Structure formats: structure tokens, C-alpha cells
Amino acid sequence: MSRKRKPLPLLEGVTITDIAAEGKALVRVNDLVVFVSFAVPGDVVDLQITRKKHSYAEAVVARMVQPSPRRLQPFCRHFGVCGGCKWQMLPYPDQLAAKQQQVVDALQRIGKVELPECRPILGSQQTAEYRNKLEFAFCNKRWLTKQEISDEHLELGSDVNNCVGYHTTGTFDKVLPIEECHLMDPINDRLRLCLRNYALQHGLTFYDVRNHTGLMRGMMIRLSNTGELMLLVQFCIETPEQHAQAMGLMQHVAQQFPEITSLLWVNNTKWNDTFGDLEVHTFRGEDHIFLQMEDLRFKVGPKSFYQTNTRQAYELYSVARSLAFDSQITATSDANVASDADAAASKPLVYDLYTGTGTIANFVARQARQVIGIEYVPEAIKDARENSRINGITNTLFYAGDMKDILTEDFICEHGRPDIIITDPPRAGMHADVVDVILKAAPARIVYVSCNPATQARDLALLDSHYRVAAVQPVDMFPQTQHVENVVLLLRR
């Protein structure tokens, strides 16, 4: 017979004190640290504990006793349910302060290395409608809010259950219907609702994740700062009738949205939503769009990676370029980073690790003798080479493969020891073997761009024996969320 669980406590009249990691707020009750979702410092609340450990607990707000003077009214009707934006109730200056502190805490607590004073975080010019890419899922099982569940008169027929939106946190087979999303220009709402309404009016089936059936599977929108617009519709076509239905929808979209410059579709009958290995068909227009950064044009296809905040991507890469080539920041071994930029022979050799589609590599190429980019995804390397060609850049070389397998001592002997290494790894950080090769390559400076300060701090500790941290610059790429990018300059001791 199983033991009956003890009811978790309700904490009454608690005042929230701080912002914590993962977008949660924090309060200490006696010796217990409690993490709270969707709360603001200064809120007086009753908290329902949902999970309790020896030294900490997690809780939700059961009742708002007194809102904090700092609390804002969220601007999206889906806030608190969809999970995409966790900080709409928090003023943007407070968001920036929390992100900066998150960076400092991670570097100090995990890295345990000597640090200069952290530079003020670079905030985003746009705090809404800043994304250039969004993806939505079609589903025949909608996520019900607590209010809907309590509504005795709610009737869920198939048309009501069919929806398009975001997968909610903790579920894989249900989707929250999205009526509006403020992460992108309102064109995203018009496109999404057009596809939804057409599918419902014409009896098109919505995808069933568990049974792997249903025509309408997903959609992706990309919007360029050059005014170009891409829409990709993901179908699961298994019969000639479904193919005809899919093409009917594509024709309808083409007629309704002449501003789409790249209208694409893909047939995905796999058990997952990834389409990197599938053929993408062009229904109308081009198979790509261009994004502009300074005088450079970057070709972006449906499978390409590009930073989703276009304006802040420029700020991020400008920071990386400045730290890589700033002659005012020197080290005793920095002689190879010459100040005479006019003499080609004196320009530094740069390695761009985890180069993606070569955005950083091409962005810094004019300041370098040569830039060598390495990336795991072959399609991304193809894009990187194409972007060099489009922009008339001839001093880049790109290689595809696992970083720890490509970046070896033999590779460095063949291509030359780098004067500068720029590295922008995924959230997991760099493999220990990659760090070891970097130490042996002994560049004069390393510019480490990271979307995860925790793993960045771990890698800084591994590099600390040979490198000191000379600059720390956080950059906010994702307003209304807890995520933050950070750029660190390391100079050889």
C-alpha cells in the first residue's frame, strides 16, 4: 500500500524579494528558498508550494494580496500560459538588471576566475516584435486553460479542438491556440489565422502527434530587415487527395499575401518535426530571403540559422568584432594583432569556431588576413561559402564536421596558428578536447560569445591557466524572457 503524500503547504502574506534564474522570482521563508513563477519583487502573495526539497521549494501564486508598484500589466492575452515570455510583468530596466546579475553570478560562482568589472548590458531597441523568425504547430488537440476547464458550458467539437499555436511547457501532444503573438510584426498573426481559417473552412485535418495523422503540421515565418518575407508550410501528405488539398491552401495564401517573396512547403511524414533532411519545394518566389548587416547581405534559406533578433545581432557581432581587433586592449603576447590595418600581411589570422552560416566570419573578414570557419552542419557551411561569394569576400575558408574532430593540432599546422579565435558554441559550451586544442594553439586573444553564461563560466575556468578575462559584455537578445547572451574577451597571460 503506497504512503499517502503529505499536503504541500500554503504560505500566506509573503513578500517577493528578488529575481532568480530561469525567469523565476525568489523569496526566503525561514531557512527555505522558494522559487516563484510570474512574480515581481514587491508582490505580496499567498504561495502554494508545488514542489519541496530539503533546502528549496517551488511555488505558484495562489492569490495576489498586493501587487508590487513595479508590476506591469502584461500586453499579451496569452501571457502566463504559453510560456514564451516570462517577464512581461517586469519593467524592462529590471529585466536588464536581472540579466546582468545572472551573468556576473554565473561567472563568479561557476567560473571562479578573476574578472574585470562587467560592462553595462546592451539593451534591445525593440522590446516587442523583435524576432525575425517564428514557428507554429498545428494540432488536433488544443491545450485548455484553467478557465476553460472550469467552464461547464464549453463544448469541444473537432473544429474547436483543431488549433495552431505553441506547444505548452511539459506537453508534446497538445498546442495552445494563439490569437496574437507580439514577438514579431503583426504579419505573423495575419498569416497564422489565414492558414487556420482556410483549413477549418475546407475540412483539412490537423496533425495528431500520437497517431501520426493529419495534413496540417506546422508553419515557419521569416521576416527580413530588407522587407522580404518567407513562409514555409509543413504538411504530412500521405494521399493524392491530401496533396491536392495542400496545393489549394498554398494557392489561397499566394493570392491573399502577394508580399510573400519566398513561399515554400515541405512534406514531412517522419515522426518528428525537423525537416533538415527533407526537400523543400518552392511554390512561388525565391527559395531564400536576404538580411542586411552594414553593407553585407546574408542569404537565409528555410534551413539556415540566423540570430532571431536582427537589430541585436548587429550589436552582438559588433561587440565581438570590437573586442577581437581593438588595439587599445593589449596583452604581452598580442604582437600578432597588428595595428597597421592597411598592410595585409600584418592582419591577424582568425579562427571562427561554430561559425554557423558564417555571419561572424564574413562580418570580421575585412579586418583579418584570413578567417577559417568550422561548423558541424554541412548545409550551414554551404550557406557560409555562398554568403562570402555574394559579398565579394575572398579571404574565408569554411569546413564542416564535428568541432573536436576538425579542430586538431594537425589542422592548425596545416592552416596556421590563429592570432584570434572567436567561438560561439551551442548552449552546452565547448567540448573539453576543443578547449585543449585552443590552449595548445595559444592565440593572442579569444572572443567567447555565449548564449549560456553557466557553460561559458565552466569553459573560462578551463582556460584560466593560460588566459585572463579582460572584458565582459552582456547583450540582451530576447526581451521579455530570462535569456541573455554574453561576450567575454580573453587575453593570453
CB half-sphere exposure, 303, CA atoms < 13 A:
19
Name the strand (E) or helix (H) holding 318. helix 310-325
Residue in 82, 139, 163, 451 annotated catalytic: 451
Q: Which residues pair with 399 in a beta bridge?
A: 374
Helix (H, G, I), strand (E, B) or coil at 454: helix
CA-nearest of 99, 86, 165 to 477 is: 99
Instruction: Report long-range pairs for 248-252 (Cβ below 8 Å, ≥24 apart).
Output: 248/202, 249/195, 249/198, 249/199, 249/202, 249/204, 250/283, 252/194, 252/198
* Residue 148 DSSP code: H
Q: Enumerate residues 6+ apart whose C-beta is below 8 A from 259.
A: 187, 229
- The answer to whether residues 222 and 132 touch, using CB atoms and an 8 Å cutoff, is yes
Name the strand (E) or helix (H) holding 96. helix 92-106
**What does the alpha-carbon distance between residue 90 and residue 210 come to, in Å, rounded to a whole number?**
37
All three cell numbers of 395 = 579571404
451 is annotated as an active-site residue: yes
Instruction: Please state at what angle helix 453-463 crosses helix 92-106, rounded to 10 degrees.
Output: 30
Sheet holding 32-36, edge to edge: 10-15, 44-52, 56-66, 32-36, 25-29, 18-19
Q: What does the radius of gyration of the chain's CA atoms come to, in whole angstroms?
A: 25
Q: What is the C-alpha end-to-end distance of the chain, expressed in Å? A: 64
Q: Which residues pair with 58 in a beta bridge?
A: 35, 51
Helix (H, G, I), strand (E, B) or coil at 326: coil
Backbone angles phi, psi at 53, to 5 degrees: -115, -175
**What does the alpha-carbon distance between residue 45 and residue 424 come to, in Å, rounded to a whole number?**
41
| Active site members | 451
